[in-house]
Amino acid sequence: MTVFTRIEDFARALPRTGALAGLDLGTATIGVAVSDVLRGVATPLRTVRRTKFAADAAVLSALAADRGLAGIVLGLPVNMDGSEGPRAQATRAFARNLARVLPLPLAFWDERLSTVAAERALIEADTSRKRRAEVIDAVAAGYILQGALDRLAHLARGCA
């Protein structure tokens, strides 16, 4: 399927309803969050330990089938100045490869500060250091997905 750089193009490729997944791609893990079918709320789901691309793609494909996903939002690690470094290029390569095996529209979402926001929320919730380490990537994926969901809702209301 197609990888979209612009969320507006992604929105046009999606069916009217259907859950989306948000992914926070790291070097060792992939944080996963999912939305409800009406795309109002993102919920952290799990953290996938990365191994090889084929195994990672199989886990994500199974999740897409189990949840009946309509699309995927992948956090893009853009530098604070807006430039893209090696991590962003690796994320783009992962997206191209995933699009070859998973027939769903995929969009990028700027993930700047998503992990910082997730960490802050977990600390405010008095989550233990050990538990924070276990869930931080999924919570960051939730922040990424929620940002995209909010933008999609804004676009659906006819706002620019």
What amino acid is encoded at 160 in this protein?
A
If one compares 131 and 99, the residue with the highest pLDDT of the two is 99
Mean pLDDT computed over 17-21: 97
pLDDT higher than 80, residue 141? yes
- Total of domains in the chain: 1
pLDDT higher than 60, residue 160? no
Candidate from 19-23, 61-65, 91-95, 117-121 with smallest mean pLDDT: 117-121
Report residue 20: phi and psi, to 5°: -115, 155
Q: How many whole angstroms separate alpha carbon 111 and alpha carbon 53?
A: 21
From residue 116, give the alpha-carbon distance in Å to each of 24, 45, 73, 109. Answer: 13, 18, 19, 16
What amino acid is encoded at 24 in this protein?
D
Mean pLDDT computed over 53-76: 96
Q: Which residues contact 75 (CB under 8 A, 6 or more apart)?
A: 22, 23, 24, 25, 91, 108, 109, 110, 111, 114, 140, 141, 144
**Each residue of 74-114: pLDDT tens digit?**
999 887 787 888 899 999 999 999 999 999 999 999 887 66
Whole-model pTM?
0.87
Structure tokens at 120: 């802050």
Write the CATH number for 62.
3.30.420.140
Q: Which domain holds residue 142?
A: 3-156
